[in-house]
Amino acid sequence: MYRNITVHTLHVELTVMANDKLYTLPKLPYDYAALEPYISKEQLTLHHTKHHQAYVTGANAIFEKLDKARKDKADLDIKATLKELSFHVGGYNLHNKFWENLAPAGKGGGGNPKGELAKAIDEEFGSFERFKKEFTLGASSVEGSGWAILSASATTHRLLINQIEKHNVNVYPGFRILLVLDVWEHAYYVDYKNDRAKYIEAFWNLVNWDAVNKQFITHLKK
């Protein structure tokens, strides 16, 4: 039985067609060409329909393998299976976040942080410029493939920049993810080749600060 699942109620919403047990690729909240000139139609189309889709397929295949093994009472390499599952589910969830925290430049994307988030950034980092500098350095120095993340502690509400390697290494349990930047080469190679720094610079024109602020306000209420 299929039903509509709203990932969360933000300014930007991803409506995911999902059945009760498996993942499906969400629709983007904008057209494939909408993020140009910073992310091209070709780049975004590939990223969404091939790479994000691969994590949908990968996660579902593992759940199907788990279901079958349990039904057949068969043994599995549990360690390897769980590691692989963590990779695919991490990839699936982080890409959902990434699409949500982007918007077309000048139409919700770019500019400065807003509301409570702006205050918290000033308090934690001293200024938006300092935050941008630290986040940019965090993104440019992720080893290999991974993500730069802005998150907030569930305990102290302090903001933290962290690096997730691959999709699942160096995750901070209990930290709410507010903003993500995909720095896998598959995210930028069509447009920027191996120039990750140029891609990171372009990213600031697309950040949907309204959506990120709403994430933060939701976090504060918990």
The residues of the shown chain that bind Fe ion, judged by CB under 5 A, are 51, 182, 184, 187
Minimum separation from the CB atom of position 29 to Fe ion (A): 16
Half-sphere exposure of residue 126: CA atoms within 13 angstroms, side-chain side? 5
Minimum separation from the CB atom of position 47 to Fe ion (A): 6
Cβ 214 vs Cβ 11: under 8 Å: yes
Closest C-alpha among 112, 113, 153, 162 to residue 134: 162
Q: For residues 87 and 184, which CB has a smaller minimum distance to Fe ion in the complex? A: 184
Closest C-alpha among 55, 56, 28, 26 to residue 43: 28
Q: For residues 30 and 184, which CB has a smaller minimum distance to Fe ion in the complex? A: 184
- Residue 176's SS3 state is strand
Q: For residues 93 and 213, which CB has a smaller minimum distance to Fe ion in the complex? A: 93
Closest C-alpha among 78, 90, 15, 21 to residue 54: 90
Minimum separation from the CB atom of position 31 to Fe ion (A): 18
User: How far apart are alpha carbons 89 and 83 in whole angstroms?
Assistant: 10
Minimum separation from the CB atom of position 95 to Fe ion (A): 6
Q: For residues 18 and 46, which CB has a smaller minimum distance to Fe ion in the complex? A: 46
